[in-house]
Structure 1
Amino acid sequence: MVKLKFTLMIFVLCTFLVGCNINKEELTIGMIPVKEKETMLNDFEHIRLYLEEQLEVPVNVIVTEDYARLVEEMENKTVDIGWYGAFSYIAADSFLDLTPLVLQERKAEGLYYQSLIITPQDSNIHTIEDLKGTTFAFVDSGSTSGFVLPFALFKSKDIEIENFFSEIHYSGTHQQVPTDLVNGKADAGAISSIQLEKLISKGDIDGNDFRIIWKSEDIPGSLYVARSAVSEEMQEKFINAMVAIHQEQPDSLEKFDGSINRFIEVDNDIYHSIRNIATILGKDYMMEFFLKR
């Protein structure tokens, strides 16, 4: 009888502990900074609540200080799902075991966007060659459109950026690049076509104040990727929730980013061109400009 009671106690205790583990299960989403941290968190809040309902677990959201920190957080398993740009995903995937989940499709651009080099309209800069001796603004060394594609452009022209520019400036976010140009912190800079259009449409800047001197080929859009250790069930739930959000919670999607039409499941093949660029630049480049803190 005593043995039976002891067995029952162990069973109940194990059941309780398992139940606790289930209740404690949570998901943490990490995002790269494209604007001010608090603004991003506030804009994503309705999506976070929607995901909690759909995934049936608490969902936490963090905005890391830069691309390298997001990779670090995923490596340390403190972030489960990360929001990456095209090149930052390819770079992270070369060091971590990641699974791509969903890709954003935009109302105007569709699945692709471009890297731009812009300068004030009243500047004397009209070509890439005119940039010699100027102060140039990149976004961040891990930004696909704000660094990687312009860097690849300069490399293709045998331009060593440290010697070509009088100074290299990092604006930190795409939104800050036009401001830095207006304030004289830089003479020209790299920016995402998405972010430039967003600033213009919101009235934050006047598009006529800037001139585009270079535009890249199409770049696949930003995507959400999971650590492969995240359960397949959780990955599938996340995919289903995000693919349906434009129908289930259109206001939440609008609040986060009104230029997004919907999310679709990722076809990894569309990142082939970015993988080729990553291969050409090499792992040393990724360590030096992207992953080194």
Structure 2
Amino acid sequence: MHFPTRAKGLLASFALVAALTGCAATSTAAETPETPDKLVFAQIPSESAQGIAENNAAIIAAIEETTGIEVEIQQVTDYAAVIEGLRAGQIQLAALGPFSYMVAKDSGAGVEALGALVDDPDQEPGYKSYGIVPAGSDITDLAGFAGKTVCFVDPTSTSGFLYPSAGLLDLDIDPETGVTPVFAGGHDASALSVADGTCDAGFAYDTMVTTQIIESGSLKEGDLEVVWESETIAGSPYVASDTLPADLIEQLQDIFATDLNIPALVESGICSSAADCQLPEESEYGFIPVEDSLYDGVRAVCATTKAAACNV
């Protein structure tokens, strides 16, 4: 794979959410947004800053080549920082979870969905949350989480908090008082904290548990046991800030719909071959367009759990 050198660069992490919001855009609805000199892309860490750069390299290369605008990667600490950065106009592109997308959309943060990853173009994007315990644990199901120290990911993580909360509530276990909750900050951090005994049990998304953290060498196969699976969750969308010009948002949506799939990336020369084409979530195809209605299931789970983060 080849891609512009500038796509490799990582900006320093945001230290405070306030740093994102301190210079909120003041343009009025009557003003036409200007095309920016660069697009800041943000994603919370899944494993490492370098991993984010590598996983998104083809995406960034395609955006830069088509739009002529430089893309810089911004690693942030949590979904709230991404949402507030989008709201303030300091972040223009982001990878969100389904829950954080719904929070951003419904709270007026001003986001437009660009697409979500699938393994097949005819497939509806989706994944699952896994409830995990260390190998040899006497916890064999979700009911066994009661009274334990449980690692969640983030208060606005779909598979790392919202759907696990719904699963616990179905068993009359309050996710705030029926367990001792710990927010690990990332799916890999949650899994590692379970494996090393910091938490008795925890949650992370499916492929983080089954492949990603094993292939990274952080854990070995068999270090974790899966004792619970959620229902299928709508796929995680990439989004654009509506502070961008409308024609640029449309162009980005077209890029995600037509250019950001493995066959197209090979044809354009961004990827040298299908085998060499690395995409996030180890997608075997790439992106397809998504509608806001796809995330109504997340809104329904919010209604069930009444999670504080749902109150947008």
* Category of TM-score, reference length = shorter chain: 0.7 to 0.9
Alignment of 1:81-100 (within 5 A): 81-96=93-108, 97-100=110-113
Indicate the residue corresponding to 1:247 in structure 2.
263
Task: Answer whether contact 2:188 2:213 (CA < 8 A) is retained.
Answer: no
Q: 1:33 to 1:200 in 2, by over 3 A?
A: closer
How many residue pairs end up in the alignment? 266
What SS does structure 1 have at the residue aligned with 2:203?
strand
CA contact (8 A) 1:136 1:186 kept: yes
Q: 1:71 to 1:126 in 2, by over 3 A?
A: same
> Could you tell me which of 253, 257, 275 is aligned with 2:299?
275
Q: Residue type matched to 1:247 in 2?
A: P
Q: Where does structure 2 lack aligned partners over 5 or more consecutive residues? A: 1-33
Contact 1:90–1:278 (CA under 8 A) maintained in structure 2: no
Instruction: Quote the Cα distance in structure 2 between the aligned partners of 1:282 and 1:162.
Output: 12
**Deviation of the 1:53 alpha carbon:** 1.0
Please say if residues 126 and 236 of structure 2, whose CA atoms lie closer than 8 Å, have aligned partners that are also in contact. no
The aligned residue for residue 189 of structure 2 is: 176
Shift of residue 181 of structure 1? 1.9
8 Å Cα contact 2:165/2:305 also seen in 1: no
TM-score by length of 2: 0.76
Deviations 1:57-80 (A, max 9, x none): 222221221000001101110112
Kindly report which structure 2 residues correspond to 1:1-293, keeping only aligned pairs within 5 A, or say none. Answer: 25-96=37-108, 97-106=110-119, 111-165=125-179, 167-199=180-212, 202=215, 204=217, 205-243=219-257, 244-245=259-260, 246-250=262-266, 251=271, 254-257=277-280, 259-260=282-283, 261-282=285-306, 284-286=308-310
Q: 1:283/1:121 Cα in 2 relative to 1: closer, same or farther (>3 Å)?
A: closer
CA deviations on 1:96-131 (whole Å, 9 max, x unpaired) are 232211111136x86211011011230100122222
How far does residue 265 in structure 1 lie from its aligned partner after superposition?
1.0
1:13 matched to which residue of 2? none
Cα 1:194/1:106, change in 2 over 3 Å: farther
AA aligned to 2:148 is T
Residues 285 and 255 (structure 1 numbering): CA distance in 2 closer, same or farther, change over 3 Å?
closer
The one-character-per-residue Cα deviations of 1:237-282 (angstroms, maximum 9, x if unpaired) are 2122233232233538833436112101113332221121223445
Aligned-residue CA RMSD in angstroms? 2.6
Shift of 1:163: 2.8
Is contact 1:41–1:62 with CA below 8 Å preserved after alignment?
A: no
Give a deviation string over 1:2-27, Cα, whole Å, max 9, x none. Answer: xxxxxxxxxxxxxxxxxxx76x6332
**Aligned AA for 2:247?**
E
Cα distance in 1 between the residues matched to 2:228 and 2:252? 37
Letter in structure 2 aligned against 1:249:
L
Residue ranges of structure 1 left out of the alignment (5+ in a row):
1-20
Distance in 1, matches of 2:223 and 2:47, equals 21
* TM-score normalised by the chain length of structure 1: 0.81
Q: Give the Cα separation in 2 of the matches to 1:220 and 1:214.
A: 18
Fraction of identical pairs, as percent: 23
Conservation of the 8 A alpha-carbon contact between 1:91 and 1:278: no
Q: In structure 2, do the counterparts of structure 1 residues 264 and 199 end up closer, same or farther at CA, with 3 Å as the change threshold?
A: same
**SS of equivalent residue, structure 1 residue 82:** strand
Which position in structure 2 is the counterpart of 1:6? none
Equivalent residue of 2:186, what SS? coil
> Cα deviations across residues 31-65 of structure 1 (Å, max 9, x unaligned)?
23222224313442443233111112222221221
Kept in 2: contact 1:101–1:223 (CA 8 A): yes
Q: Looking at secondary structure, tell me which structure has more helix per residue.
A: 1
**Higher mean Cα deviation, 186-195 or 36-45?**
36-45
